[in-house]
Amino acid sequence: MNFFEQLIIGVLFISGLWAACAEGMIFGELADMAEKLLPRELCKPLFVCPACMSSIWGTAIWFYTGGTLHGWPLYIFALCGAMHLVSIHLLQKNER
């Protein structure tokens, strides 16, 4: 699997998980419960902040899809940037 395929998988996975953890969605109540039990610093990279989610979920996706340690830092930063752009777009769309 090449870098861009892995990047697309990462963006889709994190976007889907983030959406599924929103209020009223399938994992919304679970996310609310976790936010009450876990420290904020742990919740952000698990399901609250799309850019932050790149660190944990991106690492899992990278190595699961056959990535090497050598390419991992570049992938995490690229995924973080992509998720930042996606989240800005989604937040602007929700404000309309």
Q: What is the pLDDT of residues 27-73, one digit of tens each?
A: 999 999 999 999 999 999 999 999 999 999 999 999 999 999 999 99
**Two tokens, residue 23:** 């209020």
**Two tokens, residue 79:** 């995924």
The predicted model gives 18-26 an average pLDDT of 93
Closest by alpha carbon to 57, among 75, 71, 41, 40? 75
Half-sphere exposure of 68 toward its Cβ, with a 13 Å CA cutoff? 3
> How many other CB atoms are there within 10 angstroms of residue 21's CB atom?
22
% of the chain with per-residue pLDDT over 70: 94
**90, 51 Cβ separation under 8 angstroms:** no
Predicted model pTM: 0.88
| Overall number of domains in the chain | 1
| C-alpha span between 9 and 91 (Å, rounded) | 21
Mean predicted lDDT score pLDDT of the chain: 92
Give the model's pLDDT for residue 63. Answer: 97
Instruction: Residue 89: give the domain boundaries.
Output: 3-95
pLDDT above 60 (res 74)? yes
